[in-house]
Structure 1
């Protein structure tokens, strides 16, 4: 994956993330928070002014935030994309594939367990928002 993981405590963002409704109602906010179930596509016309999108994961089993990340990255969003909430260490590799580059988990993350999770697979079968080349393309290049 190359890029180091960023955790909220490591690099705090200057501006607190505002709700999606508040963001859409003002023109000077550069950080927005998407709650589970909100449509990330509402941000697409504003990507050029957003520095941080914080995506809420209220429960580890709620996967809607993965879709939000993928929508934003595929639309060209290049700013910080933070997964916040009930983020488990074994989800972080998949979240990175969807485009998350920053994390704010509720529970502490064991660095050794995270390193093992990130190193578990050398190849992937699907294309994703990350730059990894799918194994089928490597074979048939």
Structure 2
């Protein structure tokens, strides 16, 4: 995975297309998944994608976490961006699920983001990242 990035400015890049538009063309390299989209539809195309943007229209909608984990476990190595109603409290969990960049609608305090990412040294369960669960460290 690439370095975790916080998007605070507009980045010039190929615009993301919807999943339906992506499946109907052969040259797109960036796609946007909405909460109702099935991330598994992208699995045959992961090698040509450079960006998958996952929409979080409401912070309480957790379907994007599942999409991220599905994509990472299927082998996706490109940028996986959480976009929308992203809160500081969610960032560490998003990273564990496989997100490596995020673009929140509301501005976040960079120091609070850094603290959120550094808050916990250990995890209790396995995830899409390479962190070894604490129980495995104890008993492994």
User: C-alpha distance in 2, partners of 1:46/1:13?
Assistant: 23
Cα pair distance change 1:7/1:116, threshold 3 Å: closer
Match of 1:61 in 2: 60
TM-score (norm 2): 0.94
Cα pair distance change 1:72/1:140, threshold 3 Å: same
Cα pair distance change 1:4/1:77, threshold 3 Å: closer
Structure 1: gaps of 5 or more residues: none
Cα pair distance change 1:64/1:73, threshold 3 Å: same
Match of 2:77 in 1: 78
Q: CA RMSD in A?
A: 1.4
Structure 2: gaps of 5 or more residues: none
Match of 2:41 in 1: 42
Show structure 1 runs of 4+ deviating over 2 A.
7-13
TM-score (norm 1): 0.93
How far is 1:30 from its partner? 0.2
Give the number of aligned pairs. 139
